[in-house]
Amino acid sequence: MKDALSLLTTLGRRGGALTAGALHWFPVVGALLGGLLGGWWWLAQEWWSPLLAGALVVTADLALTGMLHLDGLADTADGLLPHASREHRLAIMRTPDIGAYGITVAAMALLLRVAALGSLDADVLLLVALWSGSRSFVAAVPAAVPYAREQGIATPLLARAPRWTVVAIVPAALLAPLPVAAAAAAGAAVVAFGARRLGGFTGDVLGAAIVVAETVGLVVAAAR
């Protein structure tokens, strides 16, 4: 549990051992994050307009996750979207710089998240379902998709990576069936796109899958 908190949030202590055991706790940590953000969403809508409340929830999410997943989304966009060789894509994704692709995709994701939350009534269970479901999916990816790098931050996660966590999407889907289904499809599309262009996944691709899944789920939930 501590390793998963350290990896996915700013709540745990940094510097702990990163092992496949952390993956088993991804669904729980996702549910915890969703619950905290959902409670804050409810309070924010009591005090401010829906749009401002949505912006405050997105801000809280960035603070709780340390912007780790958003950084992964930006790096993934910079690496996967332009024309480049596999080796060049991986090199681009290692650099700390953010290019035009990354800035644009990250900005659009934030805009869509604020707009979707701002058009909905606060729903704690929706965020619990989406935040838990997205992390349940990515926790199972290392067991099914090869790692694109010879060595990297996700290397310790590969040994005995669990497959069962994908089943944790089922209770999430019971809370919000259509949004969670759309989120799972979007996350799978990101991982598949990464595997096609890189030959596997990276930590950045998993972060991108989480953000895209959550964002698509929120947009679907906001549909009239």
Summarised one tens digit per residue, pLDDT across range 45-55 is 999 999 999 99
Q: How far apart are CA 198 and CA 207, in angstroms?
A: 15
The model's confidence at residue 18, banded by pLDDT at 50, 70 and 90, is: low
Of 212, 224, 161, nearest to 26 (Cα)? 161
Of 62, 67, 40, nearest to 53 (Cα)? 40
Residue 17 has pLDDT above 60, yes or no: no
Average pLDDT, the chain: 92
pLDDT of residue 151: 73
The model's confidence at residue 112, banded by pLDDT at 50, 70 and 90, is: very high
Residue 67's contacts (CB-CB under 8 Å, 6 or more residues apart) are none
Determine what percent of the chain is predicted with pLDDT higher than 70.
Answer: 93
Helix (H, G, I), strand (E, B) or coil at 147: strand
Q: What is the pTM of this model?
A: 0.94
